[in-house]
Structure formats: structure tokens, C-alpha cells
Amino acid sequence: MHDKSDDATSCPASPPAPELFTWEFAADPYPAYAWLREHAPVHRTALPSGVEAWLVTRYTEARQALADARLSKNPVHHSESAHGKGKVGIPGERSANLMTHLLNIDPPDHTRLRRLVSKAFTPRRVAAFAPRVQELTDHLIDQFAAKGSADLIHEFAFPLPIYAICDMLGVPSEDQDDFRDWAGMMIRHGGGPRGGVARSVKKMRGYLAELIHRKRSEPGDDLISGLIRASDHGEHLTENEAAAMAFILLFAGFETTVNLIGNGTYALLRHPAQRELLQKAIAAGDTELLSTGVEELLRYDGPVELATWRFATEELTLGGQRIAEGDPVLVVLAAADRDPSRFVAPDVLDLTRRDNQHLGYGHGIHYCLGAPLARLEGQTALATLLTRLPDVRLAADPDDLRWRGGLIMRGLRSLPVEFTPERP
Ligand code: HEM
């Protein structure tokens, strides 16, 4: 895993360019991002896969790139057409017929599909789901509260989003453990060997296609039935589009939320004064700090380290750097969200931060569709955990914790904790 940076970064007066994509980098990428922001804010590098891409690390250019219509989401614009070789995107997406999902398309197709899915996946539907998220959260904590210790990734952060989205989509409860297994395969091997991941993607996609077919004749009050029903000027999603849509909701909403809960809890455990402030606010019924706090956790160490792939449809200039037609561009959200020219004391975790227009959910037309659900799950999970296990503490040396090595997501492999066991 070597960074093959080009000469643009080797300024003699500055410290040497940091190595990217090593295990040390995965554990703490922020010093390397600070270097890039200062010395090479639009930086061409070879990724571990061998694909060459531009990394954008300053807030202003990041926001600009996310909203630039000349940067397409459609991999056909990639000059190396590495997408065809399976190097970019969801593993197995071609064979699983997932190519036309929201994160792979541009207007006008994107506009049409996003409008249709927004009719079914509404903030109202999410708000109505709040009691169920609370129930799922309590049920998961019930499983380990009496033990006095737990791995919060495996036993809490991982199952909560998968059960939540399955429930919301309308996957019957007896089938949800299959999803837990398939999702487990995806998260364990994300960024690693891909055969098992591609198989899991195919199985999930196949299951969803069958479920959609069934829901057509037996509709319910769930999101899949809503996707089938959704219409815009008399237009509907095809069965194939609805299945790809259900899959992308699962795929985009699963590991992200695992990492919001995981990274967020970890940050709180490492900042006792901030955590105490939050605990007091929750106990007093002050939901405001919970809300600004979760936004700050997203900014400080968010789940999506790099936004998904974009490709230049024509030659353009970004941050003074010429980007050729067909070049891939990756916006480093984690770097932009620590940019001192945008955020006061960006390396400080401040749950009361108000001026916090972070890019953790992206920006522009691909802004996260699931943000209301993610906020609901993140707030419910953290508030319930800190209320039920008030003295929860880290049960490992932070240096021994391992971070997943994937390119897009940032999250812990495990988060061992201890606490006073809850009495039955
Ligand atoms: C904390 C949790 C989450 C974070 C940090 C997050 C972050 C993001 C980001 C950064 C993007 C834009 C990517 C880009 O422009 O390259 C995005 C898009 C998206 N997210 Fe999320 N997400 C989260 C949870 C969810 C959930 C729960 C769902 C749905 C159940 C979801 C569904 C989507 C979809 C469908 C898109 C594509 C939107 C489009 O292309 O129009 N996300 N998310």
C-alpha cells in the first residue's frame, strides 16, 4: 500500500509527503490530510487498487467539486474504464444488475429516480419509525447489558442499522438474519477479497427482486410497497429500478450508520468532559445537545471518509490544478471537515458547535437521501447507550484498536467496552 504521489507535492521547504493508505494512516489519517490541505489540496495519487485519482482535501474545493455538474457519477466517463474491470464501485454490481442506482447516475435520470424514491422515503415515514428504532435499540442492549462487557461494533452498532432498514423496507423478520449474514460478509471483507462480497450482493439483490415481485400483488405499509406505488407524472419505477433502489438504500444506509454509532461512541469515550456534558443534557431531557452533538461527531470523525467516485466529463481546473477529461476525482470529506479555514479549532470535539455545515452527508444533488434516518438511529443509539450504561468505558488500549482498511468508509473493526452490569 504505497502512495505514488506525483512531483507536485515535493516542495523542498516542507516536510516530506505522508504515506497514504497504510495501516497507520487508517488509524489516524488526519495529520496526512492536514499536510495535503496545506501543500497539495488537489492531489493526484495511486490508490491501493492501482487506479489513479485526484484527492480533494480543502473545504471550499470539496464543496465545489460535489456540486460540479462536469464531475459525473457515471463510470462510463472514467478514462481507464477501470469500472469495467470491477475496480470501482459496489463489488458485483454489474452481474447483480445494480448499475443504475442513484450514486452511479447523472441528471436527468438521477433527477427522475431521486424524485420517485423521495416520494416513498419521506421524513414523515422516518419520523413514524422512531418508536421501532427505540425498540430495536433497547432489544439489542438487553442482550448484553447484564454481562458487564461487550463489543459495541459487533453486538450493537452493526445489527441496529441492518434490522432497522430491513424493517423499514418490509423484509419479514424471519428473513432478516440472512441479511445480517450477507451484510456481515460485506463489512468484514470490504476492501479485501471480493468473491464473498460479490456473492452476498447478488443474494441480497436476488432476494429483494423476489420480495418486490411479491409486494406487487400483496402491498403493505412498508417502504418497498411505497417504492412500487410511487409515481411522478404517471411514471413508476420498473421492478428492476425498484430492486436496485431498495439495494442502494440498504448498501448506502448500512455501514455508514454502523460507523456513525461506532466512531461516535469511540469519540465520546475518549472525550470524558464532552461525554459528561451530553449525559447531563440527555438526563435533563435537552434534545438540542444530542442533535448538535451527533452533527459534531459526523464532522469530527464521520463514517464516509471519501465521497464516492466522480469522473471529469471535460478538462477542468479545480483549486488551480488541471484535471483531464476522464480523470477520477475523490472528495475527501474527512479532510474538508477538519479544514481550519472553515471550522474554528477543527481538531477539537465540541458537541455544542453551532456553525457546523459539515460535508459528512455530502453536498449537492447526491446529498444523503437517508440523513433523517441516520440522525434518528445515531441519536437514539447514543442516547440509549449512555442512559442505560452510564459508566460505559473503553476496555482496550486505543493503540490496539483496528480500523477497517476500505477506501470510502472509516470505521472500527471492534469496540470493546466495560460497564457496571444492568440488574435484571
Ligand atoms: C450516518 C450515516 C450516513 C452517512 C454519513 C451518509 C453519508 C452519505 C454521503 C456522504 C452521501 C453522498 C455521497 C457522494 O456524493 O458521493 C450519501 C448518499 C446517499 N445516502 Fe447516505 N449516509 C448515511 C446514512 C444513510 C442511510 C441510513 C440511508 C438510507 C437508508 C442512506 C442513503 C443514501 C443514498 C440513497 C444516497 C445517494 C443519494 C443520491 O445519489 O442522490 N444514507 N450518504
Nearest atom in ligand 1 to 363's CA = 15
- Residue 267's Cα: distance from chain center in Å? 17
Give per-residue pLDDT as tens, 318-364. Answer: 999 999 999 999 999 999 999 999 999 999 999 999 999 999 999 99
- Considering only CA atoms, which of 231, 222, 301 is closest in space to residue 263? 301
CB atoms within 10 A of CB 221: 9
Model pLDDT, residue 47: 92
For the chain, the average pLDDT equals 90
Q: 368 CA distance to ligand 1 centroid (A)?
A: 4
Q: How confident is the model at residue 169 (pLDDT cuts 50, 70, 90)?
A: very high
pLDDT at 4: 34
Cell numbers linked to 10:
515535493
- Position 413 scores a pLDDT of 94
Nearest CA to ligand 1 atom 41: 366
What percent of the chain lies above the pLDDT cut of 70?
A: 90
CA dist., res. 11 & res. 248, Å (int): 42
Query: So what's the pLDDT on residue 100?
Result: 72
Question: How many whole angstroms from 289 Cα to the centroid of ligand 1?
Answer: 23
Q: Please count the other Cβ atoms lying within 10 Å of the Cβ belonging to residue 422.
A: 14
Residue 392 backbone phi and psi in degrees, to 5: -55, 135
Give tens-digit pLDDT for 58-102: 999 999 999 999 999 998 888 875 444 445 566 666 655 666 789
- The pLDDT score that the predictor gives to residue 11 is 46
Checking if the pLDDT of 273 tops 60, the result is yes
Q: Provide the pLDDT for residue 150.
A: 98
Average pLDDT over residues 282-299: 97
What's the 353 CA to ligand 1 centre distance in angstroms?
23
User: What is the atom index within ligand 1 of the atom nearest the CA of 110?
Assistant: 41
Using the structure block, give the residue that is written with the C-alpha cell 458487564: 148
- Whole-angstrom Cα distance, residue 123 to residue 165? 14
Ligand 1 centroid to 253 CA: how many Å? 6
* Per-residue confidence band for 42, with pLDDT thresholds at 50, 70 and 90: very high
User: What separation in Å is there between the alpha carbon of 251 and the centre of ligand 1?
Assistant: 9
Mean pLDDT over 35-43 rounds to 97
Quote the pTM value: 0.93
Angle (CA) 286-289-295 rounded to 5° is 145
How high is the pLDDT of residue 195? 66
Average pLDDT over residues 409-421: 97
Residues whose beta carbon lies within 6 Å of some atom of ligand 1: 66, 102-103, 114, 165, 248-249, 252-253, 256-257, 260, 302-304, 307-308, 360-362, 366, 368-370, 373-374
Distance CA 205, CA 96 (A): 6
Angle at 400 between CA 27 and CA 339, to 5 degrees: 25
The pLDDT of residue 234 is: 80
Atom from ligand 1 closest to the CA of residue 309: 16
Q: In what order do the strands lie in the sheet with 149-151?
A: 149-151, 416-418, 393-394
Q: 3-state SS string over the chain?
A: CCCCCCHHHCCCCCCCCCCCCCHHHHHCCHHHHHHHHHHCCEEEEECCCCCEEEEECCHHHHHHHHCCCCEECCHHHCCCCHHHHCCCCCCCCCCCCCCCCHHHCCCCHHHHHHHHHHHHCCHHHHHHCHHHHHHHHHHHHHHHCCCCEEEHHHHHHCHHHHHHHHHHHCCCHHHHHHHHHHHHHHHHHCCCCCHHHHHHHHHHHHHHHHHHHHHHHCCCCCHHHHHHHCEECCEECCHHHHHHHHHHHHHHHHHHHHHHHHHHHHHHHCCHHHHHHHHHHHHCCCHHHHHHHHHHHHHHHCCECCCCCEEECCCEEECCEEECCCCEEEECHHHHCCCCCCCCCCCCCCCCCCCCCCCCCCCHHHCCCCHHHHHHHHHHHHHHHHHHCCCCEECCCHHHCCECCCCCECCECCCEEECCCCCC
Of 309, 325, 310, whose CA–CA distance to 79 is shortest? 325
Q: Given ligand 1 and candidates 160, 248, 258, 361, which is best to mutate, with the most ligand atoms within 8 Å of its CB?
A: 361
CB atoms within 10 A of CB 46: 16
- Local confidence band at 199 (pLDDT 50, 70, 90 cut-offs): confident
Q: In what order do the strands lie in the sheet with 42-46?
A: 42-46, 52-56, 328-331, 310-312, 71-72
Q: How far is the CA of 390 from the centre of ligand 1 (A)?
A: 31
Atom of ligand 1 nearest to the CA of 161: 27
Confidence check: pLDDT of 43 > 50:
yes
Cell of 238: 420498473
Residue of the CA atom closest to atom 11 of ligand 1: 368
Amino acid at 360: G
Residue ID of nearest Cα to ligand 1 atom 38: 366
pLDDT of 13 > 70? The answer is no
> Which residue type, as a one-letter code, is found at position 41?
P
pLDDT for the residue 149: 98
Q: Beta strand 393-394 with 310-312: parallel, antiparallel or unpaired? A: unpaired
Rounded to the nearest angstrom, the distance between the alpha carbon of 338 and the centre of ligand 1 is 20
Does residue 366 carry a pLDDT above 50? yes
Q: Averaged over 369-380, what is the pLDDT?
A: 97
Burial of residue 336 (CB within 10 Å: 0-12, 13-18, 19+) is: buried
* Matching residue, cell 435520470: 109
Tens-place pLDDT, residues 90-135: 666 665 566 678 998 999 999 999 999 998 999 999 999 999 999 9
CB 346 within 8 A of CB 338: yes
Taking a C-beta distance cutoff of 8 angstroms, is the pair 389, 145 a contact? yes
State the number of CA atoms in the 13 A half-sphere of 229 facing the CB. Answer: 14
Atom of ligand 1 nearest to the CA of 73: 16
**CA–CA distance, 362 with 103 (Å, rounded to integer):** 12
Q: What is the mean pLDDT of residues 268-295?
A: 97
